[in-house]
Amino acid sequence: MDGLVIGGLTISASALRHNAALLRDLVGAERAAFVVKGNAYGHGLVAVARAIEPLAARLCVYTVDEALALRAGGVNAPILILGPIPPAALGDALASRAELSLWSTGEFARRVCASARKQQRVAAAHVKVNTDLNRLGFEPHELVDALEDLLRLPELRVAGIFSHLASAEELDSPYTMHQLGAFEHALARAAPLLDQRKVRPLRHIAASAAAMLWPETHLDMARFGIALYGLWPSHQTREAMNAAALGLRPALSFRSQIVAARTIAAGASVGYGGSFHAPRDMRIGVVPTGYADGIPRALSNRGAFAVNGALCPIVGRVAMNMTEIDLTAAPGARVGSAVTLIGTDANATISADDWAGWAGTINYEIVARLPSELRREYPDEDASTVAR
């Protein structure tokens, strides 16, 4: 069993760069921001950022810790923190030269300014507007008053004004037009104030789907997340953009090996709860990865892995650390044979979208929940990128 691979991810840096270049060309070099929150959607925060940094006008993260990790990893591109920042972490956030998101003019804004004064710097902030996604942000009618308050603060610079769309992955989406209209109306009302103060903030509302399907949402910046990784926001988006010859490449593959193989008799049960009974004598293989490794338990008796170029159905319940598969289609499989969980093996391909379909979820969740403990390798990255 020497050299046994329990399970690991391979991420193609060249695929990431290919996707980043396509998306940058779609909106323009100065408009392309890339979202690397959630451990770069499971692909590995620092390595992904290093791979695409030369193509990025800006990198977007969710937490202060992500911004700090990028700086510690040698990433120098502008960083925007999209999520809330604990007041105790403001000093670190500003020291990292990250831009902050603001949706309050109260105590938090005062703390931002106090932290900036201590460091003798000006904090750059992107002001968020709620256009009926109803999570974070000023209401559109509040924007002018909020900007007046924020522009009075000498330690704060309004670097951007942004919002977020709820249904942009739909080809026919009146709600997207409603949100864009609300945002543009709020910007128009704020324009005289911004002109008077000679402030030119970046306006942005588009993520991957909107940037592809709704060119009018490009504005000054688009935030590409799922598309950077070669995955599509929706089937509709994929159909529309494939017609436009936008050829994204999935960057991630997930592989393991068979650690045990056995023949079981017809009627024998497999796994916890006896949810599968062999319809005939059959050979099964044990793969040493399970839901602790990011395989949804919902793939039990539904999904498949690839072995020797053949799809091998999952039999029984996915366990915490093991999954069993039917080896009928791969008679030559043995202990040590490679198993492709996500990726291509000869004529067999399994995608994150396949997992999502089997599990009743979306591809975002599939990749973002791949544990950070899984080994990630970047075989086509330069020598400065260390597998992690």
User: Which residues form the catalytic set?
Assistant: 37, 272
CA neighbours closer than 13 Å in the CB half-sphere of residue 245: 1
Cα dihedral 9, 14, 18, 23 sign? positive
Say how far apart CA 271 and CA 318 lie, in whole Å.
8
> 174-196 vs 143-151: helix axis angle to the nearest 10?
40
Please count the residues of the chain.
388
Contact 264, 38 (CB under 8 A): no
CA neighbours closer than 13 Å in the CB half-sphere of residue 286: 13
**Helical residues (DSSP H) of the chain, grouped into ranges:** 13-27, 37-41, 45-52, 64-72, 90-95, 107-119, 143-151, 174-196, 208-213, 235-243, 352-359, 363-368
Strand 100-102 and strand 123-128: the pairing is parallel
Task: Pick the closest to residue 282 from 229, 230, 330, 341 (CA basis).
Answer: 330
Q: Is 228 helix (H, G, I), strand (E, B) or coil?
A: helix
Token pair, residue 127, equals 């002001």
Say how far apart CA 99 and CA 108 lie, in whole Å.
15
